Structure 1
Amino acid sequence: MSHSSESPVAVVVDGYSAGNYYPAAFGRLGARVIHVQSTPELIPSMLAPDLSQYAENVVCSDEEVLVDKLRPYGPVCVIAGQEGAVVLADRLSEALGIPSNGSALSQARRDKYEMIEALRRAGVRCADQFKSGDAGAVTAWAEARGTYPVVVKPLSSAASDGVYICNDASDVRAAAETVLGSPDIFGGANTEIVVQSYLKGTEYIVDTVTSDGHRYACGVWRYEKSLLPTGKNIYNRDILLDADSDPVPALIAYVDEVLAALDVRWGPAHVEVIVTDEGPALVEIGTRLNGNIDAGFHDVCLGHNQASLAAQAYARPEEFQKQYGGQAYRKLRPAVVYNTPTELDGVVASVDEAVVEEISALDSVHRVGVKLAAGSRIRPTVDLLTSSLRVYLTAPDEERLTAAYERVRELKDDVYHLA
């Protein structure tokens, strides 16, 4: 039986976190959306998919069975809802013979080491690196190379989990032993780690959506970071840049090389790039939505959002390619995403809703994401996962935006009362 005569069908694999924006995005284009849950139980460490938004939820971990179940629907795409689903989505779409990035370079799009090696093979500027499951070997490589700092990180985690900047051999050994001794964000064992040359410079986010090789740059943001005494470089603000301001055109041109090297022809990509003295160099790429996405916020400051663009790229490719192919976004309003750091240490007794309301009521605040609930452990911020709030701010001018940001800074620690 074929369903293709009805409305088109989109398949989302593991629609956690940012993937929750897909059902509405495809729905607006008249597509029905089916969810594939690749694990018997939902993964507890991420914001769960809202299964009520899907026409159906297929719980299955056997790929051949999945392909047989999905084929009658004639889906327009199989798309990853989050980072961990990229490889499976690539294989399913390839097996179904529908638009796909294919599986040949899937590992290079997930594994931080393979990613950089694929760039090196393609002659694209990238970091020096080495990988091993042995902390001693990692330390020896750093010592032999003789230039510090170096970066130690897991092969395939996310959200700056387990990333250490190391200034000498003892730092490298300690970081290597810590990462090898702990699971990644998805609960998998870190059997190998990668050590890389430290890319010195300012870091940027480049978000793209591609439809059959026609790339659209849908947002470029500059990371403002704070270096902690621990050597952790934490995210503070993501600041939206004008598309024609330096170094945005150079970043987009570099990202085009990265997409080509990794054979990304379809769908969204979230790319982190550092502009070094030699030019842009890749930190990493995820062929999925920006985890920081807030569709309504992006609609206000950019006039579109990555989820709706990705849906259009698959469901209405000709329309997308004509409207967006080879183009870049236009910044409609100044905007920042503020991941608030905290020094608080203890157990949250309560969330002060009055303070949350005061922050939310600021003219320039689009949304406040309160990350902890009563009973949660709050610790001093060491990475993206341990920031206390995520606040989306946009205003007609920079002055108002800055004023609101400063007020949020004053109020952020009053949100949580500790036991």
Structure 2
Amino acid sequence: MAAANRTPTPNRPTAVLVDAYSTGNFLPPAFDRLGVDVVHVQSTPEPIAGMLAPDLGAYRSSLVCGDPAATAARLAALDPIAVGAGQEPGVPLADELSERLGLPTNGTALSAARRDKFEMIEALRRAGVRCADQVRAADAADAVAWAERRGAYPVVVKPLASSGTDGVEICADAGQVRDAAEAVLGSRTVYGEPNTAVLVQSYLAGTEYVVDMVCCRGARYTCGIWRSQKRLLGTRNTYDLELLVAPEEDVVADLIAYVGGALDALGIDHGPAHAEVIVTERGPTLIEVGARLAGHLDPGFHDECLGGNQADLTALAYTSPETFLRERAGRRYTRRLAAGVYASPTEQDGVVERIDWTVVKEIENLPGVYGVLLKLREGDRIRPTVDLRTSTMRVYLRAGTEEAMARDYRLVRELKDQVFQVG
């Protein structure tokens, strides 16, 4: 194992995190607060480019997995209490290592269905859970042929195993399907994996929701439900604002029950889950689900607005399952404040020559703004927004009333394009 910067603490138990990129960085401090050291396992020979890297200084040690059996043997010497995925690419390896070590595990039988979106929906279909029509196509011609045989547009074209609305297009005719499929097949996922096939699905008309849960021995706590407000940019439907739903709204019980059935179908009994669901005329229907933390997670923001956060609850479920089952199982979040997460779009195109920190501070000082995450630095390329990755900022909003939050949301929208000075 390659040593990281953290000195091991005697007599503390150890948990293992696989590919703790991005919001997975919130997991080490969550385990630390519960008195547990963490070891990091990287599933790929090289770090995954384009994702916020793990802070290895937060870990007792780290290693790169070449052979899962050998890695499991090395980890066994640490007598770990849990193995979990920090982000999407680590899900299959976390399943395998936890299974090999005899720890609480989602198992390997359905690992593919937790990463491959075609297999995911087929697992729901086999379990009798409402889902979209779909085809996995090896080339653009097969994608077009399926859409034409189906005879009902629009359809959705997307990669099999990416995220953040990467490569997702809503297509109104055969020509758009062909173009979208060719674009996917000629690219890689956000995790750097080649797209060797493309997914085409029936379009789900309705309101989109995000449902975040933590699972423990098959019991679940609902950390938060967010209503997604999106903007259609050409054939791409990109995130704009996610609004926290009051837990007493009628739709919440339906969403919790539906997502619970989807997680059962996918064998997700342990750890976090982040689901995207459309409530159609027929009822809630899954877009996709990841066995990992939510992408917009900010623990402090979630604690303030929801009375808890997915990272701390994940650590609790792995570290003290009896406590989790007693205090959280079958329950749901509270809504302490009106809350929203804004992904700011742009039409700017060029290189960021300067960030106007006066404008950033003006945004941060708005009473409804909890925090601002800039996604670009000086010298970075800025492009017109086509998906979640090409939004320029993430702004966390909360206020005592919906009206107050909406006012500051409008002010942020007015200021957003003054932040990045482009040449």
Q: TM-score of the superposition, structure 2-length normalised?
A: 0.97
Identity %: 56
Distance (whole Å) between structure 2 residues aligned to residue 189 and residue 40 of structure 1:
16
Question: Could you tell me which of 360, 366, 370 is aligned with 2:370?
Answer: 366
Distance 1:5 1:401 in 2: 47
Question: Which one of 135, 141, 157 corresponds to residue 162 of structure 2?
Answer: 157
Between the aligned partners of 2:45 and 2:176, the Cα distance in structure 1 is 39
Aligned to 1:330: 334
Residue 197 of structure 1: aligned partner? 202
Supply the distance in 2 between the matched residues of 1:4 and 1:404 (Cα, whole angstroms).
Answer: 45
Give the distance between the partners of 1:100 and 1:356, measured in 2 at CA: 43
Choose which of 216, 220, 239 in structure 1 pairs with 2:221. 216
Number of the residue aligned with 2:48 = 43
Q: Does 1:76 align with 2:81?
A: yes
For structure 1, list consecutive stretches of 5 or more residues without a partner in the other structure. Answer: none
Q: Distance in 1 between matches of 2:289 and 2:71?
A: 27
Does residue 22 of structure 2 align to residue 21 of structure 1? Answer: no
Q: RMSD across aligned C-alpha pairs, in angstroms?
A: 1.3
2:419 paired with 1:397: no
Partner residue in 1 for 2:251? 247
| Pairing of 1:175-324 with structure 2 (within 5 A) | 175-228=180-233, 230-324=234-328
- Out of 96, 100, 103, the residue aligned to residue 101 of structure 2 is 96
Figure out how many residues of one structure are paired with residues of the other and give that number: 416
Counterpart CA distance in 2 for 1:378 and 1:226 is: 19
Letter in 2 for 1:205: V
* Partner amino acid, structure 2, of 1:279: G
Contact kept, 8 Å, 2:208 with 2:279, in 1: the verdict is: yes
Per-residue deviation at 1:214? 1.0
Could you tell me which amino acid in structure 2 is paired with residue 67 of structure 1? Answer: A
Instruction: Report the Cα offset of residue 44 of structure 1.
Output: 2.2
Query: How far has the Cα of 1:195 moved from its partner?
Result: 0.4
Is 2:115 aligned against 1:110?
yes
Cα offset for 1:375?
1.4
Deviation for aligned residue 1:4: 12
Aligned-pair CA distance for 1:399: 2.2
Question: 2:77 is paired with a residue of what secondary structure?
Answer: helix
Determine the C-alpha separation between the residues in 1 that align with 2:164 and 2:358: 30
State the SS of the aligned residue for 1:320.
helix
- What is the CA-CA distance between 1:108 and the residue it aligns to? 0.5
In structure 2, the residue matched to 1:381 is 385
Distance in 1, Cα, partners of 2:66 & 2:202? 38
1:226-247: per-residue Cα shift (whole Å, max 9, x none)? 112x121111000000111031
Which SS does the other structure have where 1:247 is aligned? helix
Q: Is the 8 A contact 1:4 1:74 kept in 2?
A: no
Gaps (5+ residues) in structure 2? Answer: 1-7
- The answer on whether the counterparts of 2:9 and 2:37 sit within 8 Å (CA) in structure 1 is no
**Offset of 1:272 from its aligned partner?**
0.3
C-alpha distance in structure 2 between counterparts of 1:131 and 1:58, whole Å: 35
Q: 1:349 aligns with which of 340, 349, 353?
A: 353
Change (3 A) 1:54 1:4: closer
> Aligned partners of 1:231, 1:383: CA distance in 2, in Å?
11
2:418 alignment counterpart: 414
Paired residues of 1:109 and 1:287 also in contact (CA < 8 A) = yes
1:171 aligns with 2:208: no
Cα deviation, residue 305, structure 1: 0.4
SS of residue matched to 1:329: coil
CA distance in 1, matches of 2:177, 2:163: 20
Alpha-carbon distance in structure 2 between the residues aligned to 1:176 and 1:21: 35
Matched residue type, 1:189: P
Name the structure 2 match of 1:137.
142
Letter in 1 for 2:359: V
1:4–1:73 CA contact under 8 A, matched in 2: no
Cα distance between partner residues in 2 of 1:33 and 1:204? 32
